[in-house]
Chain A
Amino acid sequence: MDRIPILRMGPFLLVTIQVDLYDRLALTLESDLVQMVNKTGARGVLIDISAVEIVDSFMGRIIGNIASMSKILDAETVVVGMQPAVAITLIELGLPLKGVYTALNVERGMQLLRSMIDLDEDQDEDEETDE
């Protein structure tokens, strides 16, 4: 069966979707990713969709699911590289991807993930000094 590879990069998981997704492939990715977050204790998931030409309501829901599931497992999700035509279509379709962090490209996505995690650690340190 086809699978989309998930790469580990420090505390993050990196997924680059390079093929046209059909439904089963997207569902497999969803469960693979959530299991990988659990297994590796990753703090962030970065999904690069720059090669994806079509995001319909099903794919949008999968992206939303991945973000909410990862969140419960204490990992943040950032979707990067959305093509402008895809963004226009998603909004007209009525799917604004609420609750999903996005960034323009991989570099900014990584920055965003790092800032989210660094922030958490800073807060922890603050709490310790208060005590």
Chain B
Amino acid sequence: MMVISLSKDVMRIIKDQDVVPFRNRVKEKATKIKMGLVNQTKLITAASELVRNMLKYGNGGEIVIEVVSRGRENGVRLTFKDKGPGIADISLAMKDGYSTGKSLGLGLPGTKRLVSEFDLKSEVGKGTTVMIIKWANG
């Protein structure tokens, strides 16, 4: 079934302090489609992990925040685009406990567990795009 975009916002993230307003915007959208508290928390936590990755490895970037629908379901779709170094080995990056930085390596695999749909595209030297969807009842 087709995923239809109902509204679209774009936010630029270049510094640490941009994260809180971004999280608030995501929360706003999630509340609007009556997403439950637990799913909201999962979505915002996942968003927080990805925005941190973007700042840390990609020197910031752009996030598209959308309210989407598929059939009777409503959801929030977030697309994170950065022009960082890219990820050489995606399957390795998706492994629990793997990190090139000093983190715990939970970011990507943990994020995937928290959302309904997860898609990662990356090209070395060009950048990384991560798309997630959380359905209101998903």
Which residues of A line the B interface, CB within 8 A?
A: 20, 22-24, 53-58, 60-61, 83-86, 88-89, 92-95
Decide yes or no: A92 and B114 within 8 Å by CB, A54-B45, A56-B49, A58-B52 being known contacts. yes
Which residues of B line the A interface, CB within 8 A?
A: 16-17, 19-20, 23-24, 37-38, 40-42, 44-45, 48-49, 52, 96, 103-104, 106-107, 109-111, 113-114
- The total of interchain contacts (Cβ-Cβ below 8 angstroms) comes to 70
Contact call B48/A54, Cβ cutoff below 8 A: yes
Contact call B96/A22, Cβ cutoff below 8 A: no
In the bound complex, residues from chain B placing their C-beta under 8 Å from that of A93 are 45, 49, 106, 110-111, 113-114
Most buried by A among B24, B48, B109: B48
In the bound complex, residues from chain B placing their C-beta under 8 Å from that of A24 are 16
Nearest-CB residue, chain B, relative to A57: B106
Q: How far is the CB of B112 from chain A (nearest CB, A)?
A: 10
Question: Complex Cα distance A68/B41, Å?
Answer: 27
In the bound complex, residues from chain B placing their C-beta under 8 Å from that of A53 are 41, 44
Question: Complex Cα distance A13/B59, Å?
Answer: 36
Question: Complex Cα distance A95/B16, Å?
Answer: 22
Question: Complex Cα distance A22/B52, Å?
Answer: 10
Question: Complex Cα distance A23/B1, Å?
Answer: 39
Contact call B40/A85, Cβ cutoff below 8 A: yes
Question: Complex Cα distance A24/B55, Å?
Answer: 13
Question: Complex Cα distance A56/B23, Å?
Answer: 12
- CB < 8 Å neighbour of A55 from B17, B45, B114: B45
Contact call A57/B114, Cβ cutoff below 8 A: no
Contact call B109/A54, Cβ cutoff below 8 A: no
In the bound complex, residues from chain B placing their C-beta under 8 Å from that of A56 are 45, 48-49, 52
Nearest-CB residue, chain A, relative to B103: A57
Question: Complex Cα distance A56/B20, Å?
Answer: 13
Interface contacts beyond A23-B52, A54-B48: sample of 10 additional A-B pairs, CB < 8 Å, sorted by A: A20-B23, A22-B20, A54-B23, A56-B45, A61-B104, A85-B38, A88-B38, A92-B110, A93-B45, A95-B110
Contact call A89/B106, Cβ cutoff below 8 A: no
Q: How far is the CB of B123 from chain A (nearest CB, A)?
A: 25
Question: Complex Cα distance A20/B17, Å?
Answer: 10
In the bound complex, residues from chain A placing their C-beta under 8 Å from that of B103 are 57-58, 61
